[in-house]
Amino acid sequence: MAKIPEEELMNSGHNACPGCGAAHAMRYMLKALGKDTTVNIPACCWAVIPGVYPSKNLEVPLLYTAFETTGASSSGIRAALDAKDIDADINVVGFAGDGGTADIGIQALSGAVERGTDTIQVMYDNEAYMNTGIQRSGSTPQGAWTTTTPVGSEKAWKKQPKKDMMDIMESHNIPYAATVNIAYPQSFIEKFKKAAEINGPKFIHIYAPCPTGWRSKPSKTIEIGELAFKSKVFPLYEIENGVYNVYKKPKEEIPVKDYLRTQGRFRHLPEEEVEKIQKNVDRYWDKLLKKEKFTQEELYKEE
Amino acid sequence: MSEYKIVTGNYSSAYGARLARAEVVSAYPITPQTSVVEKIAEFVSDGKMDTEYVKVESEHSAMAGCIAASTTGARTYTATSAHGLALMHEMLMWASRARLPVVMTNVNRAMGPPWSVWADHLDTIAQKGTGWLQFFCENNQEVLDSILMAYKICEDEDIMLPGMIVEDAFILSHTREPVEIYDQEKVDEFLPPYDPDVKLDIENPAGFGSLVMPDWYMDFAKKLEEAMEGAKDKIKEVNKEFEETFGRDPGGLIEEYKTDGVDVLVITMGSISGTSKDVIDELRDEGHNIGLARLRTLRPFPKEEIRELTKNVNVVGILDRSYSFGAAGDAAREIKEALYGHNSPVVKNYIVGLGGRDLTPEILEKIFLDTIELQDKGLDQEVEWVDLRSDRKKWRR
């Protein structure tokens, strides 16, 4: 088990809401990567969390960029560092929310990964446009209430499942991709450290609860993270050169409804919808285990 | 040793980026800019240009890449055209507000629909308020010269703004002309490496572009305007230095062609200026007291120079290769604004050559004769669209 480094590169005095999962995400990421790291941040909660000019609560250089540019910005920073022959061990991180990754930023992300940019592209996933006030994104889970999927008489909660960014990244032949959960800081830090050792593009999908948008108790953020893992709603796995590894499997499994009931955004869901969600979660988990088995035991057996 | 090569405007751009030692190029292909990025790819592939060439997936990312690289302290270059420039719009503002000396060639081209790949200034002019210096070039030599000049001007610590070099689609971009490719050592003397004091740096972890409250924002905007205003003197100064180094005057803010004591002044931009100068010569030979001013920088806009030039003229004819819908051509609008409260010549705006419509010496001669006639007949209309299909008899022999 990795020890959590004591060095703090995120100082107190941030602007995040109480119980913000994204705040944990940045803190643990910087603990893992250390100070030889540049971070570029598009429009998202983290464009505000570091502080208002002239304040800044992070001990790493920050480039704020436009919403859809995270991937291109990472490529630009890396190109300049290479052009200047500056130490190649610097981590160039693009740190975007789910909207800036899965929706408006997906083109620039795809470009950066396809070009083989040596960067860690992070999606801290709070499952909606939280900074603008809880609008649905492509990463909002099935069944969720948001301000643009309101639950009126027409029951217009989000009907579609989440966009699978890990699969999309895998389809780019990315050398390394991993999911991490702020409720499990050891593996969180371990996976970031592993990513830092790999040359080329890396993608890390962070599960980051948002009490404000999820209508959950700020004090329950870590607990919700644990339930997401135990209910298999957010599996913890990595893909290294095409090989899947579900690196942490729940010892005690719980039904999805135990996860859903912790958040007001799901409270409208009738029994049959919860069953549908349970079925989708089970199918995804099953598929994931099959991918793991197939890629480990058959597809890349010779390697 | 410097040497003359017979090259297109696009190759001239590529040679300009190479001589300027652009450290990062971040670009995306679009007609008619493509041969710029192809030539740079060839330079890099042949080991003739030491640059990190980021082949991005869109123009928006091209400018985002330049912005990130420039923030990290690299000299950056890109090139685009029309729809590509329009897609960059957000990032154009980002580059100027971040005070980054990105230099770019824009091969100006008409905006669709209907699709058109030919010369038209609207793409560039639509970006005039974004905080970029804009240099409209007359010929391929000036394209190269302007790139070298632009880096020196834009990277000056008092300026720190991005610069756009504008070449007319096909008329310059794909037409070969002799261009002096300067000796690298001489260029290096003229243009030292870019080394900004403030940059994205792990040793000095600053933040670039954070949220500011209304109590700050406006003052940043004013500083940008002061830099833009300051760029006028800087352009003149660098123009002089350029002339001393390379023996060639790229034209400063506004180029005056036989303007001493004229009664009639025509004002042009871009590649039509060369043909126009020939026509001016002919008209002067015929006894007409007419001269030409070529607006080289739309931004910063040379207000004072325009006032000086029009002090004693009776009539000004302004040729715009674009149109601002609901108003008039932009050069004309800006020139009129500069005149207000200073001089009051008769001013007529001619809308010409949109979407690459040819401007022959015959048509230009008719335009200039029309301007001359305004002295006697007075202003017939403020804006006239020249050589429309419905109106060919008036403008063609």
**Residue at A271 is within a domain:** yes
ipTM for the predicted complex:
0.96
Please choose, from the candidates A282, A227, A226, the residue with its C-alpha nearest in 3D space to the C-alpha of residue A258. A227
Please choose, from the candidates B166, B170, B19, the residue with its C-alpha nearest in 3D space to the C-alpha of residue B80. B166
Measured CA to CA, the distance from residue A227 to residue A298 in angstroms comes to 32
pLDDT in tens, A5-61: 999 999 999 999 999 999 999 999 999 999 999 999 999 999 999 999 999 999 999
Please tell me what DSSP assigns to residue A134. Answer: S
Measured CA to CA, the distance from residue A168 to residue B274 in angstroms comes to 53
User: Is residue B79 less than 8 Å (CB to CB) from chain A?
Assistant: no
Contacts of A38 in chain B (CB under 8 A): 72, 200, 202
Give B3-246's CATH code, choosing from 3.60.15.10, 3.40.50.970, 3.90.1150.10, 3.40.50.2300.
3.40.50.970
SS3 category, B204: coil
HSE-up of residue A15 (Cα within 13 Å, Cβ side): 16
pLDDT in tens, A18-29: 999 999 999 999
Measured CA to CA, the distance from residue B111 to residue B245 in angstroms comes to 38
Interchain contact, B72 vs A76, CB within 8 Å: yes
Residues B8-15, mean pLDDT to the nearest whole number? 98
Q: Where are the domains of chain B?
A: 3-246, 255-395
Helical packing angle, B82-97 and B214-246, nearest 10°: 110
- Six-digit token string for A4: 């959590």
Which positions ≥6 away from B146 have C-beta within 8 Å? Answer: B16, B135, B137, B165, B250
Tell me the CA end-to-end span of chain B in Å, nearest whole number. Answer: 48
Per the CB < 8 A criterion, the answer to whether B190 and B152 are in contact is yes
**Cα nearest neighbour of B73 on chain A:** A80
pLDDT band per the 50, 70, 90 thresholds, residue A194: very high
Per the CB < 8 A criterion, the answer to whether A274 and A260 are in contact is yes
Measured CA to CA, the distance from residue B128 to residue B331 in angstroms comes to 11
What integer pLDDT is reported at residue A300 of this predicted model?
A: 72
What integer pLDDT is reported at residue A88 of this predicted model?
A: 76
Please choose, from the candidates B354, B383, B328, the residue with its C-alpha nearest in 3D space to the C-alpha of residue B270. B354
Q: Is B271 left (phi over 0), alpha (psi -120 to 50) or beta?
A: alpha
Please choose, from the candidates B348, B351, B363, the residue with its C-alpha nearest in 3D space to the C-alpha of residue B264. B348
Instruction: Determine the distance in angstroms separating the CA of B73 from the nearest CA of chain A, rounded to an integer.
Output: 7
Instruction: Determine the distance in angstroms separating the CA of B298 from the nearest CA of chain A, rounded to an integer.
Output: 27
pLDDT band per the 50, 70, 90 thresholds, residue A201: very high
B199: Cα separation from own chain's centroid: 28
CATH architecture of B255-395: 3-Layer(aba) Sandwich (3.40)
Interchain contact, B56 vs A62, CB within 8 Å: no
Interchain contact, B74 vs A53, CB within 8 Å: no
| Nearest CB neighbour to B73, from listed A48, A84, A115 | A84
User: Is residue B68 less than 8 Å (CB to CB) from chain A?
Assistant: yes
Q: With 70 as the cut, is the pLDDT of residue B393 above it?
A: yes
Please choose, from the candidates A204, A200, A153, A163, the residue with its C-alpha nearest in 3D space to the C-alpha of residue A180. A204
Interchain contact, A47 vs B73, CB within 8 Å: no
Residue carrying the six token digits 């504008």: B166
The whole-model pTM stands at: 0.97
Residues B53-58, mean pLDDT to the nearest whole number? 98
Q: With 70 as the cut, is the pLDDT of residue B80 above it?
A: yes
Share of chain B above pLDDT 70, in %: 100
Residue B271 CB neighbour total at 10 angstroms: 29
Interchain contact, B65 vs A73, CB within 8 Å: yes
Residue carrying the six token digits 């025509």: B266
Q: Which residues pair with B167 in a beta bridge?
A: B107
Residues A200-221, mean pLDDT to the nearest whole number? 98
Share of chain A above pLDDT 90, in %: 95
Per the CB < 8 A criterion, the answer to whether A45 and A20 are in contact is yes
What integer pLDDT is reported at residue A2 of this predicted model?
A: 64
Using CA atoms, how far residue A127 sits from A22, A27, A69, A301, in Å, is 11, 19, 20, 36
What integer pLDDT is reported at residue B126 of this predicted model?
A: 97
Interchain contact, B91 vs A84, CB within 8 Å: no
pLDDT band per the 50, 70, 90 thresholds, residue A3: confident
**Residue at A56 is within a domain:** yes
pLDDT in tens, B306-348: 999 999 999 999 999 999 999 999 999 999 999 999 999 999 9
The stretches of B181-302 forming alpha helices (DSSP H) are: 184-190, 214-246, 272-285
Measured CA to CA, the distance from residue A203 to residue A180 in angstroms comes to 11
Helix (H) or strand (E) holding B346: strand B346-351
Interchain contact, B68 vs A47, CB within 8 Å: no
**Residue at A157 is within a domain:** yes
pLDDT in tens, B347-374: 999 999 999 999 999 999 999 999 999 9
Looking at the structure of chain A, the number of domains it has is 1
Mean pLDDT of chain B: 97
Q: With 90 as the cut, is the pLDDT of residue B300 above it?
A: yes
What integer pLDDT is reported at residue B221 of this predicted model?
A: 97
Per the CB < 8 A criterion, the answer to whether B264 and B289 are in contact is yes
State yes or no: cis peptide before B32, omega within 30 of 0.
Answer: yes
Tell me the CA end-to-end span of chain A in Å, nearest whole number. Answer: 27
Residues B141-169, mean pLDDT to the nearest whole number? 98
pLDDT band per the 50, 70, 90 thresholds, residue A303: low
**Residue at A3 is within a domain:** no
Residue A123 sits in a domain whose CATH number is: 3.40.50.970
**Residue at A265 is within a domain:** yes
Per the CB < 8 A criterion, the answer to whether B90 and A66 are in contact is yes
Contacts of A104 in chain B (CB under 8 A): none
pLDDT band per the 50, 70, 90 thresholds, residue A299: confident
User: Is residue B171 less than 8 Å (CB to CB) from chain A?
Assistant: no
pLDDT in tens, B234-289: 999 999 999 999 999 999 999 999 999 999 999 999 999 999 999 999 999 999 99
Interface of A with B (CB under 8 A): 35-38, 40, 47-48, 50-53, 56, 58-66, 68-69, 71-77, 79-84, 90, 107-108, 110-111, 114-115
Please choose, from the candidates A203, A192, A205, the residue with its C-alpha nearest in 3D space to the C-alpha of residue A28. A192
What integer pLDDT is reported at residue B1 of this predicted model?
A: 82
Long-range contacts of A102-107 (CB under 8 A, 24+ apart): A102/A137, A102/A138, A102/A139, A102/A163, A102/A165, A103/A137, A103/A138, A103/A139, A104/A67, A104/A68, A105/A42, A105/A67, A105/A68, A105/A69, A105/A70, A105/A71, A106/A168, A107/A68, A107/A71, A107/B57, A107/B58, A107/B61
Residues B122-131, mean pLDDT to the nearest whole number? 97
- What order of strands is seen across the sheet that includes strand B297-299? B52-55, B24-27, B76-80, B103-108, B163-168, B133-136, B297-299
**Residue at A59 is within a domain:** yes
Do B255-395 and B3-246 fall under one CATH topology? yes
The residue segments making up the domain with residue A185 are 21-299
Using CA atoms, how far residue B216 sits from A288, B159, B209, in Å, is 51, 20, 12
Interchain contact, A84 vs B23, CB within 8 Å: yes
Share of chain B above pLDDT 90, in %: 99
DSSP string, B146-158: HHHHHHHHHTSTT
Interchain contact, A63 vs B51, CB within 8 Å: no
Query: b/e for A256-279, b at 16 or more Cβ within 10 A?
Result: beebbebbebbeebeeebbebbbe
What integer pLDDT is reported at residue A122 of this predicted model?
A: 98
Contacts of B23 in chain A (CB under 8 A): 80, 83-84
The residue among A26, A64, A95, A117 with the most chain B CBs within 10 A of its CB, best to mutate, is: A64
Q: Considering only A253-267, A286-300, B253-267, which range has the smallest mean pLDDT?
A: A286-300
User: Is residue B78 less than 8 Å (CB to CB) from chain A?
Assistant: no
pLDDT in tens, A77-127: 999 999 999 977 999 999 999 999 999 999 999 999 999 999 999 999 999
User: Is residue B95 less than 8 Å (CB to CB) from chain A?
Assistant: no
Q: With 60 as the cut, is the pLDDT of residue B3 above it?
A: yes
- Six-digit token string for A251: 């010892």
pLDDT band per the 50, 70, 90 thresholds, residue A155: confident
